[in-house]
A and B are shown apart, each in its own frame.
Chain A
Amino acid sequence: QSALTQPASVSESPGQSITISCTGSSSDVGGYDLVSWYQQYPGKAPKLMIYDVNNRPSGVSNRFSGSKSGNTASLTISGLQADDEGDYYCCSYAGGATWVFGGGTKVSVL
């Protein structure tokens, strides 16, 4: 149950786009279309942003999108806004009814 690999931080100017990668293995990310993404503000609980690789829950902006290729999933945020600043975590099913998260990525809007 090793954590998925995410970049520690990503920074970009308002209005630009960023992509956060989430790399695992064929035992987790590559083996199932059960990747989800969570946004977390400091001192707050995580919030679901993307589920099943590329689906947005009701109420989540269409500026957020997800994809997957092989053992790597990605979250793209387009039209970056100030309130997109926070930590983002990917999560994947890892077989045997277990789940694994990424180490988290801190997003900064310059």
Chain B
Amino acid sequence: EVQLLDSGGGLVQPGGSLRLSCAASGFRFNTHAMMWVRQAPGKGLEWVSSITGRGGDTFYADSVKGRFSVSRDNSKDTLYLQMDSLRGEDTAIYYCARGKSEGAVDWFDPWGQGTLVTVSS
């Protein structure tokens, strides 16, 4: 069974940092692009970042560019999101999701269960 397990969320002060993890199982991790999607409380979904299967290419939404960094360790089947200079508007549930293939996203399936990040003083 394909599974994604998100972790690493928590309460952080504005300007602080946090690293999220997404542990994958049940499929060949390095043959799929991966992405992060977030959902602010009571709001809709927002694509945050994507990374190709080998990790050679990364992409970011304008709202997080320069502050967030996506990476992956294919030897550990794990995806990461390093979040720096956090702001209140970054408060959200963060989901990891799998893309269609190594270099193509096309759709998001499946999704992790999500991890809550709260930025507040």
Judged by a CB distance under 8 angstroms, whether B44 is at the interface is yes
1/0 contact string of A70-110 vs chain B (CB within 8 Å): 00000000000000000001010100111111111000000
Are A34's CB and B45's CB within 8 A?
Answer: no
A97 touching B57 in the complex, CB below 8 Å, given contacts A45-B114, A51-B106: yes
Interface size in chain B (residues, C-beta < 8 A): 23
Are B44's CB and A1's CB within 8 A?
Answer: no
B-binding residues in A (CB < 8 A):
1, 3, 34, 36, 38, 45-48, 51-52, 57, 89, 91, 93, 96-104
A-binding residues in B (CB < 8 A):
35, 37, 44-47, 50, 57, 59, 61-63, 95, 105-114
Most-contacted residue by chain A among B44, B57, B110, B112 (CB, 10 A): B44
Which are the 3 A-B pairs with shortest beta-carbon distances?
A48-B109, A51-B107, A99-B47
CA distance A99 to B114 in the complex (A): 19
Dominant SS at the B interface?
Answer: loop
A89 touching B44 in the complex, CB below 8 Å, given contacts A45-B113, A45-B114, A98-B59: yes
B61 to chain A, nearest CB (A): 6
Whose C-beta in chain A lies nearest to the C-beta of B99? A99
Whose C-beta in chain B lies nearest to the C-beta of A104? B44
Are A103's CB and B44's CB within 8 A?
Answer: yes
